[in-house]
Amino acid sequence: MKVRRTLSEMTPYVAGERRKNALKLSSNENPLGPSPRAIEAVRSALDESHIYPDGALTDLRAAIAASVGVTPDMIIPGNGSDEVLTMIAGTYFNPGDRVVIGEHTFSQYAFAARLFDTRITRVPMPNLRLEPDSILTAAGVSGAQNRGEQSAMTSDPAAQTTAAAARAVFICTPNNPTGIAFTRSELQHVLDAVPSDTLVVVDHAYQEYAEDPQTADAGALVRDYPNLIVLRTFSKIYGLAAARVGYGIAHPDRVSEIDRVRLPFNVNGLAQAAAIAALGDDAFVQRSLETNRAGKRRIYALLRELGFDPLPTEANFVCFQVNGDAKRAAETIAEHGVTVRALNSFGLPNHLRVTIGTDEQIDVLEGGLRAIAAPK
Ligand SMILES: *Cc1c(COP(=O)(O)O)cnc(C)c1O
């Protein structure tokens, strides 16, 4: 059967490898497991499995809103933030619209955009950094081109001659897979420069892990910018990747627009219960943060001792360049008992991304890292 033309340009999602008898540090999951309160809540919710869940997501929206400090009408929950991305695309992207995405970033922005026949302008990331002015140049913001930056590359030559402003720009901060975060002033610069009808989608999947006080927190800016949509997830610090819950924070008008494409029961009842309970488990979040801080220090020290030069991360993973092909390095580490992420599919064929694990997990990782280090 002939499928839509756009599907031939879409590559299947490459997930972090899971392997029998190996630890998994390839998908940035919480190494402590799920929040114990969430497990309890799911057990209780199982008794109600024969009843459709609350399709309006009233309690979940209220619980998220209280934790973020906004009103419930500013929250749009999804089956993972992946679904929120697809809902955003389905709400705002017409065929031929142009969107702006960093060259080395999470694949789901391009997936959502292509699904709706959108053209993609990739922003070059010299030194693996996403520069605000490069984003603005790619977005077609006049003025940005004249400040001496290199012009944006595009996968579509036609886009280069298009003067029309981009429909959306995607900013992942802290960025997956580099871990590098936007500062507050960088984000403010982009928000102030783009036209009000260009959406700015900020993916904050790892925001809870950020330690640098300069790191941008976009959630606080949603009130001031009706074109800003911030994405958060329960898959990382809340330890609920399998439950599939994420959400957008945006102006109430954006939320009601996106609600028009939302399936009636997009977040299932067990997942709703898990997420609400996890939001109340401050002790678990705190423990997760402490584990991450300690693990980050240890992995940095280890990598530097072995002659690697890790990028500065604000997330729960560390990215670094290896000697030679990343896939081969990842295979060697897997043979030592841990799967990590080779970043070939992110356009970084010589970089690895390693999730920050517990001390016991890092003990195992250490063997793998020593095996890929250049002999001294
Ligand atoms: C893990 C991750 C997410 C979370 O996606 P879910 O669909 O909520 O599990 C979102 N964005 C980025 C960049 C991620 O790495």
**Could you read off the pLDDT of 47-73 as tens digits, one per residue?**
999 999 999 999 999 999 999 999 999
pTM: 0.94
**Could you read off the pLDDT of 98-111 as tens digits, one per residue?**
999 999 999 999 99
**Could you read off the pLDDT of 142-177 as tens digits, one per residue?**
755 444 444 444 454 444 444 589 999 999 999 999
Three-point CA angle 117, 120, 124, nearest 5° = 170
Per-residue pLDDT at 159 = 45
Per-residue pLDDT at 342 = 98
**C-alpha 346 to ligand 1 mean position (Å):** 15
Q: Which residues of the chain have pLDDT under 50?
A: 145-154, 156-162
Per-residue pLDDT at 202 = 98
The full DSSP string for 207-242 is GGG---TTB--GGGGTTT-TTEEEEEESSSTT--TT
Per-residue pLDDT at 376 = 54
Per-residue pLDDT at 15 = 86
Count Cβ neighbours within 10 Å for each residue of 71-82 and write b for 16 or more, e otherwise: ebebbbbbbbbb
CB of 106 shorter than 6 A to ligand 1:
yes
CB of 246 shorter than 6 A to ligand 1:
yes
CB of 91 shorter than 6 A to ligand 1:
no
Per-residue pLDDT at 161 = 44
CB of 233 shorter than 6 A to ligand 1:
yes
Q: Which of 166, 118, 116, 157 is nearest to 138 (CA)?
A: 166
- The enclosing H or E element of 92 equals helix 80-92
CA 185 to chain centre: 20
